[in-house]
Amino acid sequence: MIFHIVKRELYDHLSSLRFALTTLLILILMIVNAITYLGEYKQRMDEYQKQVVRSRSELESGGSGLYRLTLRGPGRLYKKPSPLAFCADGGEKVLLGEVHGNTAGRTQRWRSGDTSYKFTEIWGLIYPPNTDLLFISEQIPGERSIMPAYIKIDWGFVTAILLSFMGILFTFDSISGEQERGTLRLMLANSISRNTVICGKFLSAFLAIATPFLIGVIVSTAIIYLSEAVQFKGIDWVRLGFIVCVALIYISIFIFLGLFVSSRVKESSTSLAILLLIWMVWVVLMPNALGSLGHRLHSRPTAKEFMAQVRDSREDLQTRYFARIKEPPRRETPATIATALSAEYVNKDAELRDRLRADYLFAELRQIQAARSLTRISPAAVVQYAFEGLAGTGFPRHLDFISQTRQYAKQFRQFLIDTDRADPESPHAVGIPEGTSQRPVNFDAIPKFEDHHRFSTDFNVVIVDLLLLILFLLVLFIGTFLSFLRMEIG
């Protein structure tokens, strides 16, 4: 029996104007997205590769001295673009794709009597846009900031906005409409349980919405895959599979929402008005409003306060060490006390800078985290975040990239120390030219940074979103069933 209901409803849906219009819109958007993505991905990938090569060749040509490496670092570190960015763009253009080091090599002068010595800052990570510690530059607006703001039309947009809209368009009259026409009574006069009716209605609406979406998914994936501009790995297909599953769960949420409201309300027009408003508030307005509100849960020091803090703590460190350094460092093995102290100072200073910058960065990132957590009241935001996580773009990916660069920086510093240890002639005081090994460093031995997309990390972030979506689904599912079972049909 359920098969008959599904068939009948599905025919109704498929021959309706709303199906034709929404299918057309979804297909057009997804195909346009796929086609523009081809050029965009190629451009991003080319740029990424060019940047990595440039960064490596700079490292190679920059000379092979160990001190030079300590001073200049391994060059800029770049974020690898995700091949699945067409699913969820995640604002990759705003979340900048690189982390670099300070290479200005600013100096501090130590003085005692007639002798003086110039300490040069060694390499440490800098996270744009809070670029530099010396200059108050919170942000310098780029060319993009005068563009009108927009949401990228990717799978995330199609799902979060359009599929949810379809969900309510296909269901707002499915119970109230039948009740108005009296066909519901007729149907229930047969030996059909109410469960079957609601299941049938759900399934037919689900199929009617999922079909155009899946066609769009297949067509756009085919365009991208067959063009061979984007290389998919095995794990990317798994990610795509999850993305489609998430979208299907999300569709179900709105179908149940539609059925629920439709079963509570007598008239279709009322049901539509209520549903449209719920949709508008829940899907369109809530993520924006809560996002603007959410970051206020955490405060962040202003750039000025931050600069002052940096200046004070660095000056403090400097006074402490400069008081203890009695003579300029010399190249002498084993290292003199002054040499060891000097090297320690330079390293401590680098550590301090690194810690403060990271603190500032994390304060900024915590604000975004808070905003994202709060917006998760809206399933549209949840589904966007899940898409971003699964596609390997957006904010969680950015966090992962930053943590990878930080790990790499540690590894790089360890490499410097180990290389220096291997040289018996060195005073083993890495950080100042007098204390560092002068042997040439083998370029191949220097650890290189490569950004990796790690599925397990990405997936861990997504689990929360996935569970939230399932929670929304369950609540609405139970609500709909109870409401329909208890409904009086007049």
Partner 1 sequence: MFWVLLKREILAHLITFRFAVTVITCLLLVVITALIRIDDYEQRLAGYNTIRNANREELLSTRTYSFLMPRVDRPPNPLSIFNAGMDNRLGNTLRIYYTNVPVLWDAQTHSSGNIFIDHFYRIDLVFIFQFVLSLLALLFAYDAIAGERESGTMRLTMSHPVRRGSILAAKYLGAMTCLILPLIISFIIALIWIVSTGSIVFSGEDFLRIAGILLTSIIYLSAIYLIGLFISACVHRTATALMLSLFVWVVLVLVYPSLSVSMVDQLTSPVDNRIYSCEKAIRQILDTVTKKGRDYLMNDEIEGASDTFTLGEDWDGLHIGIGDGSIAMRIEFKAYDWYAIQPASEKYIPHVIRYYQFLTPLRFQAAEKIGLLRLPALEQLRFRRARIARNLLRLSPAAMYNLATQAWVGTDLYGVEDFFKAARQYRRTLVNYFYDKDAFSSRQWFASDKGAIDLDDLPRFAYQRADFWTNASRALPDLQLLLLLNLTLFLATFAIFVRQEI
Residue 203 interacting with partner 1 (CB under 8 A): no
Residue 312 interacting with partner 1 (CB under 8 A): no
Size of the site for partner 1 (CB under 8 A): 72
Residue 186 interacting with partner 1 (CB under 8 A): no
**Binder of partner 1 out of 68, 194, 264, 300 (CB under 8 A):** 300
User: Which two three-digit tokens encode residue 302?
Assistant: 């202003």
**Binder of partner 1 out of 183, 302, 403, 407 (CB under 8 A):** 302
Residue 295 interacting with partner 1 (CB under 8 A): yes
User: Which two three-digit tokens encode residue 51?
Assistant: 């940047």
**Binder of partner 1 out of 280, 297, 482, 485 (CB under 8 A):** 280
Please give the Cα distance from 93 to 66 (Å, whole number). 35
Least spacing, CB of residue 344 vs partner 1, in Å: 24
Q: Within 13 A of 84's CA, how many CA atoms are on the CB side?
A: 30
Please give the Cα distance from 278 to 284 (Å, whole number). 10
Per-residue binder mask for partner 1 (CB under 8 A), 18-57, x = binder: x--xx--x---x--x---x--xx-----------------
Closest to partner 1 by CB, 196 or 227? 227
Closest to partner 1 by CB, 82 or 436? 82
Residue 488 region, left (φ>0) first, then alpha (ψ -120 to 50), else beta? Answer: beta
- 115-120 and 107-112 strand pairing: antiparallel
Query: Which helix (H) or strand (E) is 78 found in, with range?
Result: strand 77-78
Closest to partner 1 by CB, 62 or 291? 291
* Binding to partner 1, residues 439-458 (CB under 8 A): none
Least spacing, CB of residue 37 vs partner 1, in Å: 9
In whole angstroms, what separates CA 4 from the centre of its chain? 44
**Binder of partner 1 out of 8, 233, 296, 324 (CB under 8 A):** 296
User: Which two three-digit tokens encode residue 428?
Assistant: 């083993």
Which segment (135-143, 199-207, 406-414, 435-443) binds partner 1 by CB under 8 A?
A: 135-143
Question: Among 361, 365, 374, which Cα is nearest to 394's?
Answer: 365
Residues 6+ apart with CB under 8 A from 304: 136
**Alpha-carbon distances of 269 from 172, 266, 481, 486, 487, rounded to whole Å:** 8, 9, 22, 22, 19
Question: Among 34, 144, 50, which Cα is nearest to 83's?
Answer: 34
Residue 287 interacting with partner 1 (CB under 8 A): yes
User: Which two three-digit tokens encode residue 361?
Assistant: 């960065």
Which segment (7-15, 208-216, 365-373, 437-445) binds partner 1 by CB under 8 A?
A: 365-373
Which segment (283-291, 318-326, 332-340, 423-431) binds partner 1 by CB under 8 A?
A: 283-291
Least spacing, CB of residue 378 vs partner 1, in Å: 11
Residue 94 interacting with partner 1 (CB under 8 A): yes
Tell me the torsion sign for CA atoms 365, 367, 157, 151: negative
Residue 297 interacting with partner 1 (CB under 8 A): no
**Binder of partner 1 out of 169, 184, 224, 361 (CB under 8 A):** 169
Three-class SS state of 120: strand
- DSSP label at 433? G
In sequence order, the β-bridge partners of residue 117 are 110
* Binding to partner 1, residues 217-276 (CB under 8 A): 267, 269-270, 272-274, 276
Which segment (79-87, 193-201, 301-309, 312-320) binds partner 1 by CB under 8 A?
A: 301-309
